[in-house]
Every structure is written in C-alpha cells, then in structure tokens.
Structure 1
C-alpha cells in the first residue's frame, strides 16, 4: 500500500500534468476538503465531485490563469504538509496575484480523508477588486 506521502505526491504530480482525473483519484467519498475563509471558493466540501465542482471548476471560472507550484512536501506519517505558491490572473479585473500557501492533508486506508488550505486571502481579494 502507498504511504500518505506517496498519495499526496501523486495528487501534486497530477496537478503538474493538468490531469484532473489523477488529482481526484485518491480523494475518498467522505473526504472533507476545506478552503480557507476569505478565499473565493471558501467552504468545506465532501467527496471528489463536490471538490471538483466547488473548487477546481470554480477557480477556473474566476481566474484566467491559476497555478499552484509545490515548493516542499513534508511527511508527517498519516498527515502530509504541502508548502508552495498560488499565482493567477482574475478574469474580470485582469489583475494578477501571488500568494504563499500551506496545504494540510490527512490520509487513511489509502485515501485522502481530509484537506485544509491556509493562504494569504488578502492577495487574492486584491486581484479581484
């Protein structure tokens, strides 16, 4: 069985390839995915389809360009921490932003069960005004 670290790394590798199926593959049906309050798609979503609709599709609707670049991936057993940067350009304003971000993942029984995002929501909000 793959480790939590390997499962989360596979998600980030799929993101790098722009492979949505790969990004969703290891998200459990009961996964609680939380986007930070103040972020455009803030909230907690349960399961891969809710994450796809309310996070990935929503970001694509809001931003012309939206990227995440992983800087470091930390192995904490069943928890994994991803540290990196968001960058994007808001569709309506044309303003770009960059923001540092931390993702905290919880993995159990070979599936992603929990995700929580911590980021500088002010940088994103400034691009949207």
Structure 2
C-alpha cells in the first residue's frame, strides 16, 4: 500500500507530464475538492468528473499556460501539504500572473479524499481585469 505522500506525489508527477488521467487516477469518487473563495473556479466539487470539469477544464478555458510549480511537499501522515506557485496568462486580458499557493491533501484507504487550496486570489483576479 502506498503512503499518502506517495499518492500526492504521483498526482504532481502526472501534472508535470500533463497527464490528466494520471492526475485523476487516485481521486476517490467522494473526494471533496475545495477551491478558495475569490479564485475563478471557487467552490467545492465532489468526485473526479466534477473536479475535472469545474477546476482543470475551467482553468484551461480561462488561462494560457496555467501552471502549478511544486516547491516543497511535506509529509504529515495521512495529510500532505504542498507549497508552490501558480502562473498563467488570462486569455481575456493577456495579463500574466504569479501567485503563491498551498495545497492541503487528505488521503485515506489509498485514495485522495480531500483537497483544499489556499492562494493569493488577488494576483489571479488582477490578471483578469
């Protein structure tokens, strides 16, 4: 059985490869994925299909070159904390942004059950105006 750290690391490794199937592979059907208030795709979405549609697809429609760069991954047992940076360019305005971000993951029974994002939503919003 893989550790929570290994499961979350596999998600980020898939992200680097631009492998959407790999990114969604370990997300549980009942996973609660929360994007921060003030972020373009704000809300809590349940399950891989809702997460894909309301987060990954939505961000691809709003931004060119939208990227998360992982700087540190911290092992806290069944919880994992990722620290990094978002970058991208608003398709509507052509303005780029860079924003610090923290992701908090909860893993149980070999699946991702929880995700919560904390980021500088102002930097993202500024690029969209």
Normalising to structure 1: TM-score of the pair?
1.00
Return the alpha-carbon distance in structure 1 between the equivalents of residues 4 and 85 of structure 2.
21
In structure 1, the partner of 2:91 is 91
2:72 matches 1:72: yes
Q: Is the 8 A contact 1:65 1:90 kept in 2?
A: no
Moved beyond 3 Å, runs of 4+: none
SS in 1 for 2:94: coil
Q: Is the 8 A contact 1:32 1:114 kept in 2?
A: yes
Please provide the CA RMSD for this pair: 0.3
Secondary structure of the 1:100 match is strand
Q: Gaps spanning 5+ residues in structure 2: where?
A: none
State the distance in 1 between where 2:64 and 2:103 align: 22
What is the SS of the residue equivalent to 2:2? coil
Give the C-alpha shift of residue 65 in structure 1.
Answer: 1.4
The equivalent residue for 2:63 is: 63
* 8 Å Cα contact 1:83-1:102 kept in structure 2: yes
Instruction: Name the SS of the counterpart of 2:115 in structure 1.
Output: strand
- In the TM superposition, 1:1-129 aligns within 5 A as 1-129=1-129
Alignment length (residue pairs)? 129
Unaligned runs of at least 5 residues, structure 1: none
Distance 1:42 1:26 in 2: 22
Deviation at 1:64, TM superposition (A): 1.3
